[in-house]
Structure 1
């Protein structure tokens, strides 16, 4: 079980066997998705700033998309690299924990796109990718909770659903063809579970 807790001035994440590798693999896939202009999930991660003004929206995207894509991809790669270096446990400073939470938002947005989840009211499919989606939301929520309560938060454990080791964001089997807003974040998406900081 993943265990997240405040430790000193940071956040400690202890992974059960295999879980860090799962998250690292998902983060690596996310970096590829963000770089692919043809992937619908990328569009979900780059919502329109001016939905009622196509000209203003195009101008906004012209000036912001490249930088935003670079930052999202870099954040995903940093998370993956950290997990490859620290396979069972990682002590994150607040900025790094915040970055992980934002990357988890993007992962859930990508999975939401694959699963057909558009709103908070949409059901999460009872499939392996659906279980991954829920697990990522729980992990994100506990990271945010730890950031909000660094002074004495109780340890939180997250169960990794059965079969999650076979998860893949590109798997479209079992009806699968990642999303919580963080407070002050400029991205959006579906978020059936989880929290916001």
Structure 2
């Protein structure tokens, strides 16, 4: 997978079907999580993954942070939901016409992805959000080292790194 800028101004890539499925899956999970956030619930906003996505604007002033959050959290959540929805839309339909088809029946051909400038920004923001959530799950320290080290963490770390490579390729494409 490598994104490239086209003469038309769009950015495109050919993703393997498994990459599309993985990105669709994690983006759908992000949408579910964001959709369940109640910006007026302090306990929910205190959850580590939510704090990564909606950090305090004033970490040393809880009162100012709460006031800022009161005016901005809903708008931030709406933007994050819209960005993730844009990613899913660009990935296309998620189910084959015949749901009884197994994985072996999936089309093995790469899936073309073509993004407008606005879609690229949504993708970059969603990839960032996905990586923030996974970084929390992996308990990545300030030096970038995951603190979790079990079998499941290795899979999550692979997804985290893959999303980073996708994000890097997209950044390089728009800078070209």
Is the counterpart of residue 107 in structure 1 residue 134 in structure 2? Answer: no
- Contact kept? 1:36, 1:42, Cα under 8 Å: no
Output the CA distance in 2 between the equivalents of 1:14 and 1:120. Answer: 33
Q: 138-147 or 76-85, which moves further after superposition?
A: 76-85
| Aligned length in residues | 148
Structure 1 residue 85, shift from structure 2 partner: 4.2
Residue in structure 2 matched with residue 95 of structure 1 by the alignment: 118
Residue in structure 2 matched with residue 55 of structure 1 by the alignment: 63
Larger helix fraction of residues: 2
Q: 64-73 or 34-43, which moves further after superposition?
A: 34-43
> Where do residues 29-178 of structure 1 align in structure 2 (5 Å cutoff)?
29-37=29-37, 38=44, 39-85=47-93, 88-123=111-146, 127-149=154-176
SS of the equivalent of 1:50 reads coil
SS of the equivalent of 1:12 reads strand
Q: 82-91 or 56-65, which moves further after superposition?
A: 82-91
- Contact kept? 2:90, 2:114, Cα under 8 Å: no
Residue in structure 2 matched with residue 20 of structure 1 by the alignment: 20
Give me the CA root mean square deviation: 1.9
Output the CA distance in 1 between the equivalents of 2:154 and 2:162. Answer: 12
SS of the equivalent of 2:16 reads coil
Structure 1 residue 132, shift from structure 2 partner: 0.3
Instruction: Provide the TM-score with structure 1 as the length reference.
Output: 0.69
The 3 A distance-change label for structure 1 pair 90 and 116 is: same
